[in-house]
């Protein structure tokens, strides 16, 4: 009798007693019926482009047709998620983000001018997925099949304050090209992150830590003399996140907000895989406020995550993490797609300018997104400025895919 009463009291006093022992994304139904090309992933590092010809041919198909679906649970989760996302709060600290800025083949100084005003945050952050070395050729293919280099003048037109330089293209021009890129950014008062160190930036009376990681390098046999914070997110088994979680906890002691810049995921896939959702929750548990992803070259949905709110029971449609550190809200932008590219398909040419508002003690208070795309020139323009049927259809697809309530 006493033991039963004690158990009832324990359950009544435990606000997490209704939480499942195991819930999505730890348990999910795998996707079935996939075309062969959807299963080929460069990031798993199990094949070599141009050498393993079957995989190379399938991957070219994937680059053309993309992989638009996911596991049934993942699709249901992201269909429900937009209803939980709060709109941007402009009175809080606002950070602006873009995805992969790539080799575009010309108009280096002017391509981004039409979208620069849309990055209206207190700090503008993006990923630079090409070296900008003055000592290496800039012609497409000159450095290899999937290696790029752009002239440093490209940076003159790039409307960013903080630039991630560690990604799978970091060593396209070797250590010398990476070092030249960092020097060119610093000469333009832009802060590079991801080579040898992370960064803490003071903005709007707040200290914001930026921690940046990449799944790997295209030059898989090449060694760098620099620390590039490589975490094999793309491998078949979940990676060891020990160093990432340690970095988050360390940054948490010295910063008001911790933002992770993650070059992860699988190229040309419209949804993150459940393993990424698991990793995201681990990072949030360690103290991350905002995860900003890129690498898939297409836009993926976002998650709004509750921390230490027992009434928000985790499962399909709800991201909820118990950290026992105090109530706050975190968010995950799984992939922002491209912010300039030479690649041909409209979903790949299109990316997001995303914003996150943050408040000390509350974490993320709101999110916003605006789609942009490549047009003739080349130049990046607001997607809404184009009225041809293909671009209108892409805008409508993104509104369904991401949710309209937090679109700016």
Task: State the pLDDT confidence band at 1, using cuts at 50, 70 and 90.
Answer: very low
Does 327 score more than 50 pLDDT?
yes
What's the token pair of residue 88? 């941007």
DSSP state of 133: -
Q: Residues 78-98, buried b or exposed e (16+ Cβ, 10 A)?
A: beebbebbbebbeebbbbbbb
Residue 7: the pLDDT is: 41
User: Mean pLDDT over residues 270-286, rounded?
Assistant: 97
Residue 3: the pLDDT is: 47
Domains of the chain from N-terminus onward: 71-402 (3.60.21.10)
User: Mean pLDDT over residues 98-114, rounded?
Assistant: 96
How far is residue 125's CA from residue 294's CA, in Å, rounded to a whole number?
Answer: 12
- Say if CB 408 and CB 156 are below 8 A apart: no
**What angle do helix axes 72-80 and 274-286 make, rounded to 10 degrees?**
50
Residue 12: the pLDDT is: 56
Does 172 score more than 60 pLDDT?
yes
User: Mean pLDDT over residues 103-120, rounded?
Assistant: 96
Q: Could you tell me where the DSSP H helices lie in 213-349?
A: 242-254, 274-286, 346-349
Pick the residue with more confidence: 349 or 8? 349
Residue 237: the pLDDT is: 75
| pLDDT tens digits along 237-259 | 778 999 999 999 999 999 999 99
The fraction of the chain above a pLDDT of 90, given in percent, is 93
- Say if CB 88 and CB 368 are below 8 A apart: yes
Strand 328-333 to strand 290-294: parallel, antiparallel, or no bridges (unpaired)?
Answer: parallel
Residue 126: the pLDDT is: 98
Residue 96: the pLDDT is: 98
- Say if CB 164 and CB 263 are below 8 A apart: yes
How far is residue 151's CA from residue 143's CA, in Å, rounded to a whole number?
Answer: 14
Residue 381: the pLDDT is: 98
- Say if CB 127 and CB 99 are below 8 A apart: yes
Q: What are phi and psi of 108, to 5 degrees?
A: -60, -40
Residue 9: the pLDDT is: 46
| pLDDT tens digits along 174-220 | 999 999 999 999 999 999 999 999 999 999 999 999 999 999 999 88
| pLDDT tens digits along 6-58 | 444 444 579 999 999 999 999 999 999 999 999 999 999 999 999 999 999 99
Q: What are phi and psi of 213, to 5 degrees?
A: -140, 155
| pLDDT tens digits along 365-384 | 999 999 999 998 899 999 99
Mean pLDDT of the chain: 95
Which residue, 119, 71, 100, is CA-closest to 166?
100
Does 5 score more than 80 pLDDT?
no
Q: Is the preceding peptide bond at 151 cis, omega within 30 degrees of 0?
A: no
Per 3-state DSSP, the chain is made up of helix, strand and coil in percentages (nearest 5) of 30, 25, 45
């Amino acid at each position: 009798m006493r033991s039963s009463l004690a158990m009832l009291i324990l359950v009544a006093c435990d606000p997490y007693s209704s939480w499942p022992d195991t819930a999505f994304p730890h348990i999910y139904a795998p996707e079935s019926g996939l075309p062969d090309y959807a299963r080929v992933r460069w990031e798993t590092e199990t094949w070599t482009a141009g050498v393993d010809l079957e995989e190379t041919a399938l991957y070219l198909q994937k680059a053309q047709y993309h992989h638009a679906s996911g596991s049934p649970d993942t699709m249901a989760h992201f269909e429900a998620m937009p209803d939980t996302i709060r709109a941007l709060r402009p009175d809080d600290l606002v950070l602006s983000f873009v995805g992969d800025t790539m080799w575009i083949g010309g108009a280096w100084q002017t391509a981004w001018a039409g979208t620069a005003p849309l990055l209206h945050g207190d700090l503008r952050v993006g990923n630079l997925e090409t070296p900008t070395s003055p000592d290496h050729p800039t012609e497409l293919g000159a450095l290899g099949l999937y290696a790029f280099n752009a002239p440093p003048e490209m940076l003159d037109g790039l409307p960013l304050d903080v630039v991630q330089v560690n990604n799978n293209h970091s060593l396209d021009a070797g250590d010398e090209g990476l070092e030249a890129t960092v020097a060119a950014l610093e000469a333009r008062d832009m802060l590079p992150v991801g080579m040898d160190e992370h960064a803490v930036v003071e903005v709007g009376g707040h200290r914001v830590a930026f921690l940046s990681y990449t799944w790997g390098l295209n030059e898989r046999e090449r060694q760098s003399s620099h620390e590039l914070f490589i975490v094999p997110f793309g491998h078949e088994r979940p990676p060891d996140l020990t160093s990432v979680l340690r970095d988050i906890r360390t940054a948490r002691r010295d910063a008001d907000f911790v933002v992770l810049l993650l070059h992860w995921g699988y190229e040309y896939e419209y949804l993150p895989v459940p393993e990424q959702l698991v990793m995201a929750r681990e990072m949030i548990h360690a103290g991350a406020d905002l995860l900003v992803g890129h690498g898939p070259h297409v836009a993926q949905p976002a998650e709004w995550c509750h921390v230490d709110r027992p009434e928000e029971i985790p499962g399909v449609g709800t991201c909820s993490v118990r950290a026992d550190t105090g109530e706050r809200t975190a968010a995950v932008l799984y992939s922002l797609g491209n912010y300039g590219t030479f690649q041909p398909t409209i979903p790949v040419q299109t990316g997001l300018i995303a914003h996150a508002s943050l408040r000390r003690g509350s974490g993320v208070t709101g999110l916003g997104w605006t789609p942009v795309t490549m047009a003739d020139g080349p130049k990046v323009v607001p997607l809404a400025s184009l009225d041809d049927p293909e671009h209108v259809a892409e805008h409508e697809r993104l509104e369904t895919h991401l949710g309209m309530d937090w679109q700016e």
